[in-house]
């Protein structure tokens, strides 16, 4: 007599938020199983505040149904995963409630609006992990194949000892002073401006690429347009337009970070330069399939930057996409992110970036704000001793 094994459960997914990030995440959920072998799941419900708009978005983005009350969704037995794409001021409340309800949680970066919220989320994640509940922060640029390859090259010693990193993330969508107010320009809802929005990405990349931690921070924030048109006339902008930071790393490397949402002509430009004593890596998000690499161990007369087109099947993630040489785009990073999260749920291995890693970024953001407010030369960071950096799910 034969015994048939019980098929694995189809995981129910709920996503909270349906605007910019909700659209990007929906695209990833809709496509990930077409390219990667992942756990069976179903896009169950999309949650938003406006019943009509969220219903239309759910139908358009492939969700079976919509809802307006995220708390009632967390009570459902058919929901196993909660993907949080709501604004930052909602992250902590939703994530902690979802984890306590036994749901696996993916939350968009930055982890929270405040350090206290991030700490509470991390504690909830730690407690839930003991019950087999997974949690991850959505720093999607870790899933750019070229940057995943850069991390591998650095870890393999191809740059030798890294001395200096330059990270610049520049946008211009607020360069016009007439651009209207939004929740992203209010500290109560956004937490910070360019600092939390895009410096979080740049800071995470510095630590991710080097496998390092930040020990000391100095920073400056600036708001160029202090009032913008809103429903009630001109309203005060209470967050930064641009931020600058110098980071000291545990390894002895120094990183400079510059971010802006008023850099006229720059649409979504993330540039990274990593300088070691044996080589250098260059990356530009506007050419996200390429790495610049210089091998300083070669004879001087042969040295020079070479272009690595990161489209080969043995490059990170790319064996599941197109034939070699066929480029991929920004949206694929979210598909890779969902793939890695589902893999972690399947294997039980802790996904990366963990909430602990998100908290590490949050500590740096808070230190930049503290340094800027006090006009202090530097802020020392105390390194946690109970949590080592997690290893990314995707390898070579």
pLDDT at 387: 45
Kindly report the CATH number that applies to the domain delimited by 11-140.
3.40.50.720
Under 8 Å CB-to-CB from 368, ≥6 apart: which residues? Answer: 195, 199, 217, 219, 221, 243, 245
CA gap 17, 254 in Å, rounded: 37
- Cβ contacts of 33 within 8 Å, gap of 6 or more: 40, 41
Q: List, run by run, the mean pLDDT of 10-residue segments along the chain (396 residues).
A: 65 97 98 98 98 98 98 98 96 98 98 96 97 98 98 98 98 97 94 96 98 98 97 95 98 98 97 98 98 98 97 98 97 98 96 98 97 90 61 42
The confidence score (pLDDT) of residue 125 equals 98
pLDDT at 7: 64
- What's the token pair of residue 13? 């997914």
User: What is the structure's pLDDT at 394?
Assistant: 46
pTM listed for this prediction = 0.93
Domain with CATH 3.40.50.720 in the chain: 11-140
**pLDDT value of residue 383:** 75
- Span 145-324+351-380 CATH architecture: 2-Layer Sandwich (3.30)
Query: Nearest-CA neighbor of 203 among 159, 51, 192, 12?
Result: 192
Q: What are phi and psi of 21, to 5 degrees?
A: -70, -35
């Amino acid at each position: 007599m034969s015994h048939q094994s019980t098929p694995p459960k189809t995981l129910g997914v709920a996503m909270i938020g349906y605007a910019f990030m909700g659209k990007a995440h929906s695209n990833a959920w809709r496509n990930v199983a077409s390219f990667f072998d992942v756990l069976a799941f179903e896009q169950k419900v999309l949650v938003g505040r406006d019943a009509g708009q969220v219903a239309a978005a759910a139908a358009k983005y492939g969700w079976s149904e919509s809802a307006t009350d995220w708390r009632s969704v967390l009570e459902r037995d058919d929901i196993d995963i909660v993907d949080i794409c709501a604004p930052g001021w909602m992250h902590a409340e939703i994530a902690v409630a979802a984890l306590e309800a036994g749901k696996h949680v993916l939350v968009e970066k930055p982890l929270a609006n405040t350090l206290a919220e991030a700490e509470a989320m991390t504690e909830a994640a730690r407690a839930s992990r003991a019950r087999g509940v997974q949690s991850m922060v959505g720093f999607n640029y870790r899933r750019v194949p070229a940057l995943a390859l850069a991390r591998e090259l650095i870890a393999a010693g191809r740059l030798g000892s890294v001395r200096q990193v330059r990270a610049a993330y520049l946008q211009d969508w607020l360069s016009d002073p007439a651009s209207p107010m939004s929740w992203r320009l209010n500290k109560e809802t956004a937490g910070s401006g360019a600092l939390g929005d895009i410096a979080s990405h740049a800071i995470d990349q510095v630590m991710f690429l080097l496998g390092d931690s930040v020990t000391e921070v100095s920073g400056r924030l600036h708001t160029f347009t202090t009032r913008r048109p809103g429903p009630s006339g001109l309203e005060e902008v209470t967050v930064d337009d641009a931020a600058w930071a110098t980071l000291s790393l545990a390894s002895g490397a120094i990183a400079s970070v510059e971010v802006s949402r008023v850099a006229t002509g720059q649409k979504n430009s993330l540039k990274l330069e990593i300088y070691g004593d044996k080589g250098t890596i260059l990356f530009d998000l506007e050419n996200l399939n390429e790495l610049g690499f210089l091998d300083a161990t070669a004879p001087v007369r042969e040295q020079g930057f070479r272009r690595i087109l990161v489209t080969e099947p043995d490059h990170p993630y790319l064996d599941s996409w197109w034939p070699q040489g066929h480029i991929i785009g920004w949206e694929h990073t979210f598909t890779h992110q969902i793939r890695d999260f589902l893999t972690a749920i399947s294997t039980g291995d802790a996904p990366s970036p963990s909430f602990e890693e998100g908290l590490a970024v949050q500590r740096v953001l808070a230190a930049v704000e503290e340094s800027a407010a006090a006009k202090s030369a530097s802020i020392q960071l105390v390194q946690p001793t109970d949590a080592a950096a997690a290893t990314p799910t995707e390898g070579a």
